[in-house]
Amino acid sequence: MFARQAINAYAQVGVQTGAMSASPHKLITMLYDGARAAIARAKFHLEGGSIAERGTAISKAIDIIDNGLRAVLDHDAGGEISANLESLYEYMVRRLMLANLRGDAALLAEVDALLESLASAWAQIDEPQPA
């Protein structure tokens, strides 16, 4: 038990260090990766029948989408793209809540596929170079 806590603490330090030194472009990538990892954990716990852990993992994915990805949308500069992403993120959150309520792996897979598509598109955007 103690070893697992130590490993988790070490992993958290690695994530925090990576986030502190990351560019805004990389931070968005990290948010997509984190949401997808939380959904993967939710699928694992769903298959294992661990309801509380599934709920915790889904809550983590919702938090990343709502307080990470949605929170950084720039509606002034982003225009229609930003509005469309906001709607898509809201949809994902609703689907994740429904997945948790129903214990539905297909809904988790749906949101994961949406996040994968967005992450792939984001990765194709060249990171701005400093002037």
| Domain harbouring 55, CATH code | 1.20.120.340
Question: What's the domain range around 88?
Answer: 2-124
Residue 129 lies in a domain: no
Q: For residues 33 and 127, which has the higher predicted lDDT (pLDDT)?
A: 33
Averaged over 47-73, what is the pLDDT? Answer: 95
pLDDT number for residue 65: 96
Residue 130 lies in a domain: no
**Using CA atoms, how far apart are residues 44 and 36, in angstroms rounded to an integer?**
12
| Confidence (pTM) | 0.80
**What is the CA angle 80-31-18, rounded to 5?**
135
**Using CA atoms, how far apart are residues 29 and 25, in angstroms rounded to an integer?**
7
Residue 80 lies in a domain: yes
pLDDT at 85 over 90: yes
Residue 131 lies in a domain: no
Residue 15 lies in a domain: yes
Averaged over 36-48, what is the pLDDT? Answer: 97
Domain count, the chain: 1
Give the confidence band of 7 by pLDDT, cuts at 50, 70, 90: very low
Q: What is the mean pLDDT of the chain?
A: 85
pLDDT number for residue 4: 46
94-106 pLDDT per residue, tens: 999 999 999 999 9
